[in-house]
Amino acid sequence: MKFTVLSLFPDFIHSYFACSIAARGVNKGLLRYDAVDIRDFAHDVHRSCDDAPYGGGAGMVMKPDVLAEALHAVAAVGKRVVYPTPSGRPLSSAVIAELATERELFFVCGRYEGIDQRVLDRYVTDEISIGDYVIASGELAAMVIIDGVMRRVPGVISGESLQQESFEQGLLEYPHYTRPEEWDGERVPEVLLSGHHAKIEEWRFRKSVEKTLRVRPELLEQDRLEAAGLSAENRRTVMKILDSGGRDGLGKDD
């Protein structure tokens, strides 16, 4: 899969692809990327990429002529072009999974107040928000989206990790433990040492439900769980866990 990122600060993107899982994906030939400096497409003496907003107001707006030239130069026209913005549709596991079906994605990173609306209208296919807050760097938002997408590219991480993570079936993930068995007076839950796989699965499922109830109770609505792909049998188990006293005081039992 290829990511082409248009940015005023391409070093952000280079540093991302130089580290950890993304770097491994690049080295294995599973991921490719291009970090393109938008400023290379500005032609005035100051190489300016932004200007004051028509109608007045605070901040600067990124110029349509410069961005359009950059988008044409990387052959993004007619392709999937993502613009990370707090006014976009919310990022979710489903949005990431859908983007991951593409072979190539383009990102335009905004700074300042944003980019000229005519560029959005003509070239951008997806305006995506990473959450209800504003950050200064569109690059960071683009990297969040890229990070979510690239780990779904087959071979980048193990398929098992993908199946057992938060949101995969509408629930938050269960807790993890590793050696030592006892640390600072706290023991790993016995069931995890038992070698009894069915019991471990059952415990993990219950812990997922408990965590979801504590942190994101709205995710446990039956319709939402069904939409997230949780089986009817597992949805019944969720109800049982909630009914068996879970609703008032799920906690540290093991």
Cα-based distances in Å from 247 to 78, 94, 99, 189, 241: 50, 28, 36, 22, 8
Q: Does 234 bind ligand ADE (CB under 6 A)?
A: no
Among positions 115, 130, 150, 220, the unique one binding ligand ADE when judged by CB under 6 A: 130
Among positions 141, 146, 156, 241, the unique one binding ligand ADE when judged by CB under 6 A: 141
Local structure of 243: helix, strand or coil: helix
CB of 62 to ligand ADE, least distance (A): 12
Q: Does 114 bind ligand ADE (CB under 6 A)?
A: no
- Could you tell me the sign of the dihedral formed by the alpha carbons of 145, 148, 151, 154, in that order? negative
Q: How far apart are CA 82 and CA 138, in angstroms?
A: 11
H helices of 131-196, in order, are 138-150, 159-163
**In this chain, which stretch among 81-89, 157-165, 178-186, 224-232 interacts with ligand ADE, using CB under 6 A?**
81-89
Dihedral, CA of residue 172, residue 167, residue 87 and residue 99, to nearest 10: 150
Q: Does 53 bind ligand ADE (CB under 6 A)?
A: no
**In this chain, which stretch among 58-66, 79-87, 118-126, 165-173 interacts with ligand ADE, using CB under 6 A?**
79-87
Q: Which two tokens stand for residue 141?
A: 């938002």
**In this chain, which stretch among 26-34, 80-88, 205-213, 217-225 interacts with ligand ADE, using CB under 6 A?**
80-88
Q: Does 84 bind ligand ADE (CB under 6 A)?
A: yes
Among positions 25, 64, 138, 148, the unique one binding ligand ADE when judged by CB under 6 A: 138
Q: Does 64 bind ligand ADE (CB under 6 A)?
A: no
Q: Does 90 bind ligand ADE (CB under 6 A)?
A: no
Beta pairing class for 182-183 and 186-187: antiparallel
Q: Does 93 bind ligand ADE (CB under 6 A)?
A: no
H-helix or E-strand spanning residue 61: strand 61-62
Complex with ligand ADE: residue 87 or 163, whichever CB lies closer: 87
Q: Does 36 bind ligand ADE (CB under 6 A)?
A: no
Among positions 18, 75, 77, 135, the unique one binding ligand ADE when judged by CB under 6 A: 135
Q: Could you give the angle at which helices 138-150 and 20-27 cross, rounded to 10 degrees?
A: 60
Q: Which two tokens stand for residue 215?
A: 């942190």
Complex with ligand ADE: residue 85 or 208, whichever CB lies closer: 85
Q: Does 73 bind ligand ADE (CB under 6 A)?
A: no
Burial 95-116 (b: 16+ CB within 10 A, else e): bbeebbeeeebbbbbbbbebbb
**In this chain, which stretch among 128-136, 163-171, 215-223, 245-253 interacts with ligand ADE, using CB under 6 A?**
128-136
Q: What are phi and psi of 242, to 5 degrees?
A: -65, -40
- Contact residues for ligand ADE, defined by CB under 6 A: 84-86, 129-131, 133-135, 138, 141
